[in-house]
Structure formats: C-alpha cells, structure tokens
Amino acid sequence: MGLLCLGCSGSTHRAPNSTPDGTPDTVTDDNPQGRAGSGGVGAAHPTTSNGGVSAAHPTTSNVFVDQIVSSVVDKVDVLFMIDNSPSMADKQELLKASVPLLLARLLSPFCVSSDGKPTGSTVRADGTCQAADATPEFAPIGDIHIGIVSSSLGAHGGSICSTQAGREFDDRAHLIGTQRTGLSSWQDSGFLAWDPAGSRNVPPG
C-alpha cells in the first residue's frame, strides 16, 4: 500500500554577498565558481559584468513528497453499493452468489509455492500451509467490517419513496442497516463486524 504524504515548510534563499532585500552589495566575488562550506560543495553565483554578484530571486519550497510502503494488511473495510433499480434484480442474484467467495479469499488465502504459484490448497485454521515449502499469499484477515448502501437517494420532494405498507423505500444513501428495520448490525452501527478472535472490536463482533 502506498501513501503520498505532503508536508509544508518554507525557506527563502538569497544570493551570497547581497543585502537582506536581495540587492547586491559592493563586495566583488573573487571565486565565481562558488565557495564551499565545511565539507560542502559551492555553487556558482550569477555575476555582473564588473565582477559583482547579481541579485537572485527568492525561492520558496513548501512541498515534501515521500512514499510510505506497508506490506501487511490486517484489517479490511468492505462497502457494497447496490443498484436496487428493478432492472438489476438478476445482477443482485449474481452478486449474492459471489460475496461468499470474496470473503472466503480474505479469510482463507491460497497457499503459494516459492515461485509464487498457487499450490491448490488454502491456509489452515492456524494461518499456515500444510506443505512445508508453501506459504500463504497473505496473512488471513481477522478484522473485517462490511457495510451496504443502495442507489436510493430519495424522491427529492416527491412521494414515490414514501412509506407503503410499513416498508421504507428511501435509503437516503446511508448504511442500509441504519435505515431499514429488522436488520442486525454490530452495536446497531449499520455494518457487520467479523472478529473471530474477539479482540479487534469492543465489544467483540
């Protein structure tokens, strides 16, 4: 996982042998190739025709870019956005059949050989592989949150999403577990929590 970090810091530079306002003084530069500090390398200074140092425009640097790489993922948040329009009913059935496979891959990763090829088996309950020369493709995920939102954003002042026969048709683009009755969620938060060790959520998921 890569992370782009931006930091702000300002610094203003002016040419050597110049006054604080950036204008050159009367001292000439007897070493136009630049001077070096202790252990450093000097940079050449712009010079005028009479040997003096020309004025330099102040520069400010306020952007710092670096990459932080993490090779271990131990928690995953999954958010499903479901298009609940009538024409998507058959697609919802396909998704329904696919979700268990997705979660199974997170909970029981494949075992891979030393060259990275799947061995055909998955990790055991203790997170190891049966074959001595095989390793899990990644550590089993023991902390998963699952939430669902739908494409129902409301009727924007209309009445088509009004409650009919005790059923609410407006999900307001919120987690469905917080909008519809009869649905269980972790701490009534609207999402499900997978925590088999009982140590990632308080209270355990």
71-117 pLDDT tens trace: 678 899 999 999 988 899 899 999 999 999 999 999 999 999 988 89
- Report how many helices (DSSP H) and strands (DSSP E) the chain contains, helices first: 2, 8
- The percentage of residues in the chain with a pLDDT greater than 90, rounded to a whole number, is 33
CA separation for the pair 174, 49 (Å, rounded): 71
CA separation for the pair 29, 34 (Å, rounded): 9
Mean pLDDT over each residue of the chain, to the nearest integer:
74
| The most confident of 64-68, 71-75, 152-156, by mean pLDDT | 71-75
* Beta carbons of 145 and 192 less than 8 angstroms apart: yes
**Residue whose tokens read 């949150």:** 145
The CA angle 59-64-70, to the nearest 5 degrees, is 170
**Residue whose tokens read 């998955």:** 122
- Copy the structure tokens of residue 77: 């948040």
